[in-house]
Amino acid sequence: MELQGLTFNQKTREIIAQKIKEQSGIDVRDPKQLAQMTDHVKTWRNNRLNRARKQSVLHNAGEYINASLYSGNQRLDFIFKNWKPDMQANRLLAREVGAKCFNLARKMVDEPCKVLLTGKPGVGKTSLATAMLNHLCDEGLTVMTVSTLELAGLMQQQYEKTDVKDRVEYVTKLMKTVDVLLLDDFATEGGMKNEAKSVRQDLQELLFSVANSRINLQKNEVVGSTIITTNSSVSELEMMYNPKLISRLMPHKPEFIVDFSQLEDMRV
Ligand SMILES: Nc1ncnc2c1ncn2[C@@H]1O[C@H](COP(=O)(O)OP(=O)(O)OP(=O)(O)O)[C@@H](O)[C@H]1O
Ligand SMILES: [Mg+2]
């Protein structure tokens, strides 16, 4: 079909080009102007996509952070810049410990892994674990802190209170799916006075289901990073928990274990 010597398609394009020129001032019939417009549309589309992606990450990130259970119900905020090796008599070791945590956090950006921070109270385990989470959050990963002591407290109450039961279920669901999970105070729930008591069965079962979701049993691969802070040694942990749980949660190579045992208590 022809109109005034032009095919119908050409005529339609002419009309559209005219309309665009009237509205935006850009003549799409000019290849230079058309290229500019294409770039402009591309940038606009990318910005819109990035914004949407960021919003969804932020929304997700907020959900995990809001569901976190902090030790003593107090959120400790810490970044690597706050780590002061000079506070410790053995400042060289403190520097090494800080650097090891930083390098592990960087590694976790590309590859999920299991990390254990072990040592006496007050040596900075939760602080450095939190710095790792902050770094990973800045890199776009979702992070969540769960003090197993606080979780044990909720589990104690869940049989009488249905809202607590719902909360435990919700926290468990998020513990399974978050990119990086910090299990803080691990094993404190087994007894506070240097006595390695066996940990309540329901908590062990919950942790077992979480641990299973964070590894691919078929491929023997870690799918979600887990950082554990504890005052106990691995042999004490083995007395308190089912060995199947410990095998799933604990790192097996020394490069993923950060030993704070020679550092001093910095709590005032
Ligand atoms: N090297 C350090 N630089 C700066 N602050 C530190 C350092 N070491 C410890 N602190 C501070 O000391 C306090 C105790 O640290 P933190 O809570 O991280 O200890 P912890 O090892 O997790 O103890 P616990 O086993 O009792 O949970 C925090 O306020 C922490 O910021
Ligand atoms: Mg701690």
Ion ligand 2: protein residues whose beta carbon lies under 5 Å: 126
Same structural domain, 131 and 236 = yes
pLDDT value of position 41 = 76
pLDDT greater at residue 53 or residue 31: 31
Mean pLDDT along residues 227-237: 91
Write out the residue range of the structural domain in which residue 31 sits: 2-53
Question: What's the whole-number average pLDDT of the chain?
Answer: 88
CB atoms inside a 10 Å sphere around CB 164: 16
* Separation CA 241–CA 36 (nearest Å): 64
Name 132's Cβ contacts closer than 8 Å, sequence gap at least 6: 101, 102, 104, 105, 108, 115, 180, 182, 227
pLDDT above 60 for 112 = yes
pLDDT greater at residue 35 or residue 167: 167
Nearest CA, atom 10, ligand 1:
124
| H or E segment to which residue 228 belongs | strand 225-230
196 Cα–ligand 2 center, Å: 18
pLDDT above 70 for 56 = no
**Ligand nearest, relative to CA of residue 70:** 2
Nearest CA, atom 18, ligand 1:
124
Q: Of 235, 172, 179, 262, which Cα lies nearest the Cα of 208?
A: 172
CATH number at residue 191: 3.40.50.300
The answer to the question of residue 224 being in a domain is yes
DSSP-derived secondary structure letter, 8: H
The answer to the question of residue 264 being in a domain is no
Count of the separate structural domains present in the chain? 2
pLDDT above 50 for 1 = no
State pLDDT tens for residues 149-207: 999 999 999 988 999 999 999 999 999 999 999 999 998 876 655 555 667 889 999 99
200 Cα–ligand 1 center, Å: 28
Q: How far is CA 66 from CA 8, 51, 62, 142, 180, in A?
A: 59, 22, 6, 12, 15
Same structural domain, 123 and 255 = yes
121 Cα–ligand 2 center, Å: 7
CB–CB of 26/20 below 8 Å?
Answer: yes
Same structural domain, 46 and 12 = yes
The answer to the question of residue 245 being in a domain is yes
pLDDT greater at residue 41 or residue 235: 235
pLDDT value of position 93 = 97
121 Cα–ligand 1 center, Å: 8
Cα atoms in the Cβ-side hemisphere of radius 13 Å centred on 112: 20
pLDDT value of position 55 = 64
Mean pLDDT along residues 225-242: 91
Question: Measured from the CB, is residue 124 less than 6 Å from ligand 1?
Answer: yes
CB–CB of 151/171 below 8 Å?
Answer: yes
Question: Measured from the CB, is residue 131 less than 6 Å from ligand 1?
Answer: no
Tell how many helices (H) and how many strands (E) occur in the chain: 9, 9
Question: Measured from the CB, is residue 82 less than 6 Å from ligand 1?
Answer: yes
